[in-house]
Chains A and B, each alone.
Chain A
Amino acid sequence: MKTIKLFMLVCLLASASACELLQPGDIINPNVDEDTFLKSANAMQSWVNGTNKSFAEAIGTFAELTEILSDNYFNNYSQSSKVFDIPEILYTDADVTALQRYIGTLRESANYGIDEVAQADPETTNSHLFNLYYIKGYSYLLAGEYFTALPVEAGGEVKEWNTQLTMAIQTFRDALGYAGNQEDTAFINTLIARAYHKLGDKTNAVNYANAALECSIDFVKNVYFDGEKGVTNSIQLYTFGFQFQPLPRLDFLDPKYFVLTNLEQRPVCIAKAEELHLILAEASLADNNINPAKQQLKELLALVASRPVETVDDQRDDRHNGGFKYYPDSSAYKVAASPDEPFREGLVLNRQAPNFISIPYVSGTSVDTAMIDNATSVDDLLEIVYLMRQEIFFAEGRRASDLGIRLPVCEIEAANTSSAAPYIDAQIPSFIPSDKEMDAFEMDRDAKTVVIRHNMNKIIVANKGLECVIPFFGGSRAGSGF
């Protein structure tokens, strides 16, 4: 009996370690925490790439939402914003929040890279810092072009748009210190010229525009997407599909972002040499110098003509969706920019089978030398400048800013700071027609004519004395400092 007891005891002891098998393992977060990341190798490379991804998505979404805010595109579908076409911009609108969130993300991501990751990762290079600084600067630029006011730091008080532009300029100057080549310098100088242009600071805008042209006369800076990894250009989805339809006089430029192979995501341009000529031409007109302005525009025409064109199969875009709004779908259509203007040909393409279309995917314009030569007044030329801005920057998310539209501080941010109270209403200039009239047109299918309700270029030229449009004519609005 004693032996049996001893045997049982030995068996029991031998099995005691079984408890270990019954103990649950530790719960470990399958995701990477912040400390682990900062201590890992090449953290900066990963961070910069992530910030670039956010930048690309931000640019695509800004383009998507602000293009329908303008006369360029009409949302003929049930997805994406249904109210920006009106235009109705509420500070409670999730789309306003999303755009503002992108700006915060770009700035904070860049700051985190510059302040934290750069300290932790010895492999940080000038190229990384250049990249982060220009994204940070671009976040201020977007805030300055598109919002009435926004915070410039996490949870901070809001600053008006002109302060944002001033900060953009300062940050871009920081970026210049890390520029690696002439193209980088041209790119940053162009952004600085663009910010000064919006501020109405003609002298600095011209200086930086000329400085950029000295570095490169034809540079193009894009953001890129990654269709294979699901990083999509959101405006491409809506414009290559049937959802967004272009104003008929811009039909020949659509779709700027096309799909030649499955999963292809086309890049979006954030800066190109064309803008420098447009700034210089506007500056000349502001000084009442018509001929130099004409010369700039002709140089610009030559540059546009040198840009590539792609042959695209767009046969499935039937220029109709939704059953209530048809768009012209044949080159037989002539288009008048407003009821008082003559019809122009060649603005609408034949895209149905068997036709393929030719799309200038960097820059395209309907303006020709004759139009420039025939213009006699500052206003005529100014209208051509803004028509070219509209066509050259088409689908790049620039037009609504040229129309003087600004978004408010969103509800979530406004709830956090009393400084936002004066800025919770959007700025929609009184000359902007409501009820989707910017996108309105009459189409006569028998006569093959289209008459657009409003020529917004004519309207903004008529209002050029206002602060919100055509900056070089609206007086100085230099940054208020901070």
Chain B
Amino acid sequence: MAAIICITQVSLNTYGRTGDTIPPAGTSVVLDEIVVTGQGAEIEKRRLSSNVVSIGSKELENYNHGRIDQLLQNALPNVQITLSNGQPGATSMFKARGLSSAFTNSTPVIYIDGVRADNLNTGAALNITEGYYGVFVGTTGQTAASGAMADIPLENIDRIEYVSGGAATTLYGSDAANGVIQIFTKKSATKQSVFFETELGAETANAQYYHFKRTADLLHQTGFVQKYRIGFDGGNDRVSYSFGGNMSGSSGTIVQNANESRKYDLRLGTSVHFNRKTEYQSSFGVVVNEFKRSRNGNQGGYVGLWVTEGAAATNFTYANQAGDRVNYGANLDKLDDYAYAQMKTFVNKAEKLQNNRESVKRFQTSQSLTSKPVNNLTFKGVFGLDYRVNTNKNIYTNEYWDHVQDNYAIIGSSGSIFNFNRNYLSLTADINGQYKWYSDGISIISTAGYQYFSVRDHQWNSTGNDVRDGALIISGAATTLADEWLSFLYNYGAFLQENIGIKDRYFIDMGLRGDYNTAFGDNIGWQYYPKIGISYLLSEESFMQSLKKNNIINNLQIRGNYGIAGSYPPPFEYQRTISFSSYLNHQAAAFGKAGNPDLAPEKKHSYEAGFNALLFNRVLNLGFTLYYALTKDALFGIPMLPSQGYSTSYQENLEEAATYLANVGEIENKGIELSLGVQLLKTKDWNVQLNASCNTNHNEVLDIGTAVPFSIGGFSSGTIQTVVAEGKPVGFLRGSKAVLNEDGSVKEVLPLQDLGSTIPTVYGNLSLSAAYRNWQLFVSGDYQTGAYVHSFDRQFRFLKGLKDEAVPEKTLEGTTQDAQWLNFTNFFVEKADFLKIRNIALSYTVKSSRYMKSAVFSFGVYNPFSFTASSVDPEAALSGALTQGAAATGGFNYASYSLPRQFIGTIRVNF
């Protein structure tokens, strides 16, 4: 991920104090900690029946600060986050308690200071996946796509809360089946402080997965990485402020800076106490993100990794020493020096001539007013917006087409420019009141609220064909084309929550949300989401006091709950429409969407039970949850019968053609979540902690209604796809399987076979934090088992005649590799088990002197080690989602770059 600037600044807190204990990530044993997310208003963790993960700024400083998904990758113990690709701005994949939808992307909803933010984590409807010969191709899932996760504002964060989808998100109604991430930014400080930080370093390609030794030399360079941060805050009892800003850049790891990136991120928070009862808070954030994208995945023609690792070099010719044009060989490492020199020149120029730039400008603000008119009664109103402007410009010159030996293009008139624009505006208004009532060991906290949000996603693109080389805008193109797309919805919801405590140890948590969303079908009215749960502080019982006194048990909370969370359908899908296009200079009408007046949200019915325990003099911190979730009314794109006559152009994605949405499915997820924190050592000089988590998931589609098995990613059914079918996990790999006789010869070839799940059955994180006086070491990583990945690059090499150890020689008797390559897809599916160390960081803190409070020097490596069962990087995959907002499970390694390794030195000075 070339855009990522690795934060290796590991000071223990923002102000340079050392020696504090870092709370183990994600455990909720800090029972009096106040959380908000999923509760409507502030409430102590002890009263909650669900787990709310809260991560403070001190802990967040340990992780990579490039983007929210990377920041949280090792910080959320029960969520697996993988970046789908090493290219800047690429989408990521979230898997928490499996996948609850086969239709909607699994990314949690993101709130920043109570305001809903754009969490698009797939390609956009009209963004440019490919443009050639004047034809625009939108999101296909077959390349690295860019979404909105790479530019969620990250400066000046105070803490991040995460709740998983289910009872914990019931109060978010139709919007939160995948969980909620809420970012709280700093708005005040008790005293004046200033810091500066400079990070400088290098990044290199992660070449460990390359089959050919020469691939890295052909495609990669060492990138220069830089980042500069500044922050200051201060104020008094009435008015205070906090500002943080950074700018960063990288030249990227692909030759010719084909992946260079820049980012600017500013955040200002202020707090004003009008009087003792009323506080106004405001927060403004601005992000600018710009990056270049190199051709990848199934873009065809010249694609750097396909040409090298996919042996597609054979598609290209060079003039040999005798002057004849000959094709490159498939095996790069066996090219003679002359041919290799030719290829190096060819690849270098092909990367240089690409021009695909994407840019994001994002503004986000939250305004809140809190009033406490009387004791125990609090009202809070929040209003805010997230406005994100995304542009993409893709320029193909005649020089490029000529250089990459394209034999379709007419050189001289094939220059083209593709523009994409997306304006996203989300408004949130939220008002709630909370009343706390205490009497004789009984406490009741009543919360009621109303929430409104709107989402307006407006996209358009324009194409200029036959433009002169050198033109950067479509003005003057011989022909121009344009298209427009609009998605628009409102969601209204009201909720009520009662939290009843008895003797401060028995708690009953009940809630109900009613929701209306304009994306619901005409026959669908308000939707209701109930929840009920208990929290029981066993450690507060009298019979436990001896254990508590002896520090065997410090805290023990038992909890259980049931709740429903929803996921609303896309706007306008319920309406029957006629679609229009242009054909031979006239309007051309055709059947549009078939519509479905019964279109309703998916509903995830979630049950969980578990405990949190702090044991043995606070040395062992344990969290355990058993969960079962059943998504009812799961949304599936039901294929229209071909005989019904609904069809989209064949050039568009076949699998998505002519479907209508219906709530027909059932998807089950069950498993456990285990998190562990161990204080290995704590003395005056030492503080060593180990955190680890282990999660299991069994994902199964119980019912697909009237649908037939359908693809949610990949290619045609004769090759490899991720598929949804009854009795299988969402997005299992499906392709041809060669069944062998005992002697290794082929007995039969079975098409459309289950070749493995793309959802891990076990996954988790681990981190080690060790502080010795002014030194600190931090290491973190994550792992998974039980999933599979398909390597198309390997299969392409096999197609091109290179031997593959996984394919027995006997299978090829009497036939050829190119004749059989697609019959043998099972040989190219590998176990995707991995253990990846993401961060290793060492820092040294110089304590206060006359001129400053402290200085921190650190050095870190990001992505240093990967241990994988597969020959390819199971994370480096195509973006997957076939359309905007669609589910994606990964599983295809196809000309996809791995995240680079970064080596970063940091100096931070606090005043």
Contact = CB atoms under 8 A, between A and B. Distances in A.
Chain A complexes with chain B:
yes
Interface of A: 24, 27, 29-34, 37, 43, 45-47, 49-54, 57, 61, 78-79, 81-83, 88, 90, 92-95, 97-98, 100-109, 111-112, 150-151, 153-156, 224, 226-232, 234, 237, 240-242, 259-263, 314, 316-318, 320-325, 410-413, 415-416, 435-436
A82 to B, nearest CB: 5
B501 to A, nearest CB: 38
B589 A242 contact: no
The 8 closest A-B pairs by CB, nearest first: A108-B645, A323-B314, A316-B407, A262-B413, A50-B588, A105-B647, A151-B643, A53-B583
B654 interface: yes
Contacts of B490: 24, 27
A227 B817 CA distance: 37
A98 B654 contact: yes
A27 B489 contact: yes
A108 B818 CA distance: 40
B806 interface: no
A8 B317 CA distance: 83
Nearest to A241: B408
Contact of A52 (B489, B575, B583, B641): B583
B657 A98 contact: yes
Contacts of A150: 643
B646 interface: yes
Nearest to A313: B410
22 contacts: A24-B452, A31-B579, A49-B586, A50-B581, A50-B590, A79-B300, A92-B752, A93-B718, A95-B654, A111-B645, A154-B645, A227-B134, A228-B481, A229-B584, A230-B651, A240-B407, A323-B801, A324-B314, A412-B639, A412-B708, A413-B643, A415-B706
A24 B647 CA distance: 35
A52 B134 CA distance: 21
B317 to A, nearest CB: 6
Nearest to B490: A24
Nearest to A231: B583
Contacts of A228: 134, 465, 479, 481
Given A94-B655, A240-B408, A323-B315, A31 B644 contact: no
Interface string B562-587: 00000000011001111111111011
B578 A109 contact: no
B650 A262 contact: no
B138 to A, nearest CB: 11
Contact of B641 (A45, A104, A325): A104
B77 to A, nearest CB: 39
Contact of B577 (A31, A324, A325): A31
Given A32-B577, A316-B406, A436-B819, A324 B645 contact: no
Most B CB contacts (10 A, CB to CB) among A34, A92, A230 go to A230
Interface residues of B, number: 88
Interface string B395-424: 000000000011111100110000000000
Contact of B405 (A50, A155, A316): A316
Nearest to B658: A101
B590 A53 contact: yes
Contact of B822 (A31, A82, A97, A112): A82
Contacts of B317: 318
Contacts of B334: none
A416 B706 CA distance: 9
Contact of A81 (B407, B586, B718): B718
A29 B572 CA distance: 6
Given A37-B578, A263-B479, A415-B708, A78 B796 contact: yes
A31 B649 CA distance: 18
B583 A50 contact: yes
A323 B641 contact: no
Interface string B466-498: 100000000000110100001011100000000
A45 B580 CA distance: 12
B506 interface: no
A193 B589 CA distance: 31
Contacts of A92: 717, 751-752
A323 B515 CA distance: 59
Contacts, number: 258
Contacts of B575: 29, 31, 33
Contact of B587 (A49, A54, A108, A412): A49
A482 to B, nearest CB: 15
B34 interface: no
B657 A101 contact: yes
B808 interface: no
A323 B583 contact: no
A111 B572 CA distance: 26
Interface in B366-405: 405
Contacts of B298: 78-79
Interface in B611-668: 639, 641-647, 649-651, 654-655, 657-658
A1 B711 CA distance: 73
A49 B192 CA distance: 70
A413 B641 contact: yes
B587 A34 contact: no
A52 B589 CA distance: 10
B46 interface: no
A45 B466 CA distance: 30
B642 A103 contact: yes
Contacts of B577: 29, 31-34
Contacts of B852: none
B818 A232 contact: no
A232 B651 contact: yes
B56 interface: no
Most B CB contacts (10 A, CB to CB) among A94, A111, A237, A436 go to A94
A324 B801 contact: yes
Interface in B687-702: none
B486 A30 contact: yes
Contacts of A53: 581, 583-584, 588, 590
A34 B592 CA distance: 9
B716 A230 contact: no
A45 B586 CA distance: 9
B582 A229 contact: yes
B659 to A, nearest CB: 10
Contacts of B800: 322-324
Contacts of B643: 100, 104, 107-108, 150-151, 153-156, 413
Interface in B779-813: 796, 799-801
A230 B588 contact: no
Nearest to A158: B643
Nearest to B582: A229
B300 to A, nearest CB: 6
Given A232-B133, A242-B315, 9 more contacts: A29-B575, A34-B577, A49-B588, A50-B590, A90-B752, A92-B752, A104-B644, A262-B413, A262-B466
Contacts of A242: 315, 407
A46 B407 contact: no
A232 B590 CA distance: 17
Nearest to A259: B410
Contacts of A102: 647, 650
Contacts of A263: 133-134, 465-466, 479
A94 B406 CA distance: 28
Contact of B578 (A34, A90, A94, A106): A34
A317 B587 CA distance: 36
A259 B584 contact: no
Contacts of A325: 818
A12 to B, nearest CB: 19
B454 interface: yes
Nearest to B574: A29
A97 B586 contact: no
B591 interface: yes
A108 B407 contact: no
A242 B579 CA distance: 34
Contacts of B479: 228, 263
B650 A234 contact: yes
Contacts of B588: 46, 49-50, 52-53
